[in-house]
Amino acid sequence: MKLTCAARIVIALFLHAAGQCDVKADNTNSTTSFFADNAYGRGGTGPWISPSGQYFNNVTYLTYQGPAEGAYIAAYNHTSKVWKGPVKVLDNPMGGVNPEVHPTKCESGSCVDSHGAPHIAISDDGYINVFGGGHGGCDHAIEGTVWGDNIYGQGCKFRKEFPNDPSHIGIQRHARSLKPEDIFQWEKIELDVSGLVPHASYGANLISGGDIYSIVRGGSHTADWIYQKSTDGGKTFGEPVRIFKYEKTSKKGLFVAWYVRCFVGNEQATKKKDRIGCFASWHNHQVGWTGSHGPDRRNIYYIEIETSTGNFYNIHNKQLNSPITFEEANSDALVYESGYNGIFVEPTDARFNKHGDPEVLIHQYINPFNGWVGPRKTTNFIYTAFNSNTSEWYIPIPILEDDDPGLTSLGAFDKTKEKDVPAVMVSRGSSVDYFDGSKSSTGSIPSFTKNNEKSFEAEFKEFKGWLDIRNPHKDGRLMVLDSFRGTEISEEYYMGIHLYGDGGFVERNSNESSGLWKKCWEATTDDECFVETCPMNEKLLKVVLNSAFDVEVLMFKIFERQDGKWDQILKKKPRGELPFSYETCLSVSGDFNFILKARRSNEIDDSTSFGEYKLIWGGDMLVEKEYPVPKEGNVKEGFRFEQKPSSPGPSPSSTSMAPSFQGDCSQNGNSRFLYAVKENTGEKIWRTCNRLTGWTEKKKENACRRDYGNGSEAKFMCRTTCGTCPSVAQRMGSVM
């Protein structure tokens, strides 16, 4: 008999007891210094892509590049010591040949392109914005191989066809949290709605006066740097404003591109609150230079943008043009001239000090390769700042000089220290050197002294990077990426990612931090990469649909009961062939229905099903059964589930009427007693419930439903245990 009708299974989940899936570091269990082990590629591209994290309302929110170069977010509460996440926020079109499954390699080498790593901006009212995915946007609005509509860049005509060269294919992407300070629910903001430019590289953002500034290179290497301003917390952005201009100069063979690091004063700043500062170095980019765009970054320049007017100024408050040309930069904005001696410079970190004077940490390096490929070898980190007393820049001061450069070092200001001269952290291999900055008197030349107590040698193999955090907490100054000592796959593709502060690395339970990379590496669908961590008072529901040759699964839905009505909150169609799994977080105090639609796919005996589906709730198996095989029409199967009550209740007048064990019933006239046990103290809490003697079965069922639905879990348990209510595991029919 051939059946074409769809079989429907209804699973009703009634969950009322409070619970949580957040993980607090437990000293009795093993912990790791990393909060996740699935940072992928570079994990991020500091200092150009920033900030990767933000401290807000006693929580540090952390974004990083995870499997398939997607944007992930985690959060750490500094009061409760509770970790949440990581959770995937955005896909990334540069994430390998098949970014929705797992990392792969291209024919010409690694497909990893970390230029689309995420950065974060939290609005004053707590909504979280995550941006990422961009490295030029050459796949957007083009004709053939030349950009069609990007007025800020000159083209990508030398890019190879994807997938052999995935660079510069990714357009900028943006997601915003649906609720303030919530990392679990997101909406993707379409660029034609928000107004953000799609062509973007080196995404960064600033927050000044409650406004969010998106600062990007407006395309690939041959593009202007631009900014866009949002006055509504990241919902929409204004028209792009050009900052530094890409140009072919009058000098033969000189094509000037830029690398820019912008910043604002921190929350405690007393001066320059209305200014954005930008340090930059220039770079000679010959369009079409085979295999490369050159290793050189030269000179340090500085400008300011007045946020109230949008006017550009140099350090002496001379108004400049927009965009800044190479000629104007050299005449009015030059801070440090590096020369043509084979040593290159770039601004790696910057800030306003408490006097409003701009300061910059400069990375000095050599690159023996004719191209951006190959390691940059650090020769020094140098510091300079504007001295408002003399109206001049300090002569650059060396901090860490390496006579035999062989490593690429990382450097950053310690932004938790509000001093005249910032402290500087520099990593070399697996060590971190901490330097205290100071001045002996007002106007004197700054100096730096190594602080041996704050310097340390890490246990892991090598620092692979660190990522900036806006307004950091003292116990979470920055994110650190490390290289694994693990399997060949984990060492090649993945890194551990840590939160580091005054107390060292913030540890996490290893059950939550470890194995995330493997879960995604072995995944057959992108959904299987989801991490099993839910916010407080929510638990993870996992739907597993195994393969079955005689059953075709069409879709499943989840409904939630709200204000007496059932509202659909999720509809999912399996992608491709089974098996398929999906995970979502649901409130433990909500009422839910799960509906699976399936139909037979052949004419064999309809009394047998080959294949099964599962529902797993918070790690507990709720349903594990074969697919339905209906003969006619629809089939509905209803299940109810409950957890132990924990709210206080009245005690019986006589302990002699008390049951001898939990769940036992004792009779006293028209009442029966039951007790629950408080989980935190072990205290017995007595309940009383009325007998239902003489009631009709329909009336009993209605009473049981009402008692359970209004939160009277103890009364319902009593009636269930004493036989007056059906068991919670007994089928009771559909509630829809």
pLDDT tens per residue across span 253-276 = 678 889 999 999 865 556 788 899
Higher pLDDT, 277 or 549: 277
**CATH number of the domain encompassing residue 551:** 2.60.120
- The confidence score (pLDDT) of residue 30 equals 85
Give pLDDT, residue 698: 61
Tokens 């943006």, residue located: 174
pLDDT of residue 653 exceeding 50, the answer is no
Q: What is the pLDDT of residues 324-382, one digit of tens each?
A: 999 999 999 999 999 777 788 999 999 998 888 999 999 998 875 555 555 678 888 99
Domain-embedded: residue 647: no
24: three-class secondary structure by DSSP? strand
CATH number of the domain where residue 158 is located: 2.130.10.10
Give the span between the Cα atoms of 402 and 381, in whole angstroms: 9
Q: Give the span between the Cα atoms of 500 and 503, in whole angstroms.
A: 8
Position 270 scores a pLDDT of 63
Rounded Cα–Cα distance for residues 358 and 350 (Å): 7
Per-range mean pLDDT, top range of 67-76, 123-132, 545-554, 701-710:
123-132
Shared domain for 525 and 540, answered yes or no, is no
| Domain identity same for 188 and 72 | yes
Domain assignment present for 1: no
| Same structural domain, 620 and 677 | no
Is the pTM above the cut of 0.75?
no
H or E stretch covering 326 = helix 326-332
Q: Are residues 563 and 507 located together in one domain of the fold?
A: no
543 and 496, same structural domain?
Answer: no
- Do 57 and 180 reside in the same domain of the chain? yes
Note whether 533 and 548 are within 8 A (CB): no
467 touches 44 (CB < 8 A): yes
**Do both 562 and 419 map to the same domain?**
no
The two structure tokens encoding residue 561: 């009961």
631 domain residue, yes or no: no
What backbone phi and psi angles, to 5 degrees, belong to 716? -65, -40
Q: Flag whether 635 is in a domain.
A: no
Distance CA 217, CA 199 (A): 8
Distance (Å, rounded) from C-alpha 37 to C-alpha 520? 11
Please compute Rg for the chain using Cα positions: 30
| Nearest Cα residue to 281 out of 226, 360, 394, 358 | 360
- Per the structure, how many domains does the chain have? 3
Q: Does the pLDDT at position 402 exceed 90?
A: no
Q: Given a cut of 60, is residue 164 above it in pLDDT?
A: no
Asked if residue 636 has pLDDT above 50, the reply is no
How high does pLDDT run on average in the chain?
72
| Rounded CA separation 84/221 (Å) | 37
Can you spell out the DSSP letters for 32-101? ESEEEEEEETTS--TTTSB-SEEEETTEEEEEEE-GGG-EEEEEEETTTTEEEEEEEEE--TTS-SSTTT
The pLDDT value given to residue 606: 55
Average pLDDT over residues 384-411: 82
Q: Which residue, of 507, 529, 551, is where some domain finishes?
A: 529
- For residue 284, name the pLDDT band (cuts at 50, 70, 90): confident
**pLDDT tens per residue across span 465-506:** 778 899 999 999 888 888 766 555 666 678 889 998 888 899
540 and 665 share a domain?
Answer: no
Is 192 in the same domain as 265? yes
pLDDT for 25 equals 37
Question: Has residue 650 been placed in a domain?
Answer: no
pLDDT at 661: 28
User: Does 13 lie in the same domain as 27?
Assistant: no
Domain boundary among 478, 501, 529: 529
Q: Is it the case that residue 516 has pLDDT exceeding 80?
A: yes
Convert the pLDDT of each residue in 203-250 to its tens digit: 899 999 999 999 998 877 778 899 999 999 999 999 999 999 988 777
Residues 415 and 549 reside in one and the same domain? no
What is the pLDDT averaged over residues 432-460? 82
- Looking at residue 697, its pLDDT comes to 63
**Tokens matching residue 231:** 């006055």
Question: Within a domain: residue 730?
Answer: no
Per-residue pLDDT reduced to its tens digit, 61-93: 999 988 878 899 999 999 988 888 888 888 776
pLDDT band at 534 (very low <50, low <70, confident <90, very high): low
Q: What is the pLDDT of residue 13?
A: 35
Pairing of strands 504-505, 478-483: unpaired
| Per-residue model confidence (pLDDT) at position 109 | 40
**Residue ending a domain, choose from 626, 644, 672:** 626
List C-alpha distances in Å: 532 to 69, 85, 618.
20, 8, 9
Confidence grade of residue 545 (pLDDT, cut at 50, 70, 90)? confident
Strand, coil or helix: 25: coil
Q: Above pLDDT 90, what percent of the chain?
A: 25
Instruction: Tell me whether residue 726 is in a domain.
Output: no
Q: Token pair of 390, please?
A: 């003399």
| Residue 55, pLDDT score | 96
Higher-pLDDT residue of 49, 620: 49
Residue span of the structural domain in which 678 resides: 655-721
Query: Is residue 250 located within the same domain as residue 324?
Result: yes
At residue 646, does pLDDT exceed 60? no
Helix axes 697-709, 713-721, angle to 10 degrees: 140
Q: How many CB atoms lie within 10 A of CB 94?
A: 28
pLDDT range class, residue 699, cuts 50, 70, 90: low
Q: Averaged over 382-391, what is the pLDDT?
A: 93
Positive or negative torsion for Cα 577, 579, 583, 587: positive
Q: What is the mean pLDDT of residues 531-549?
A: 68
Is there a domain that residue 640 lies in? Answer: no
Among 82-91, 386-395, 479-488, 625-634, the range scoring the smallest mean pLDDT is 625-634
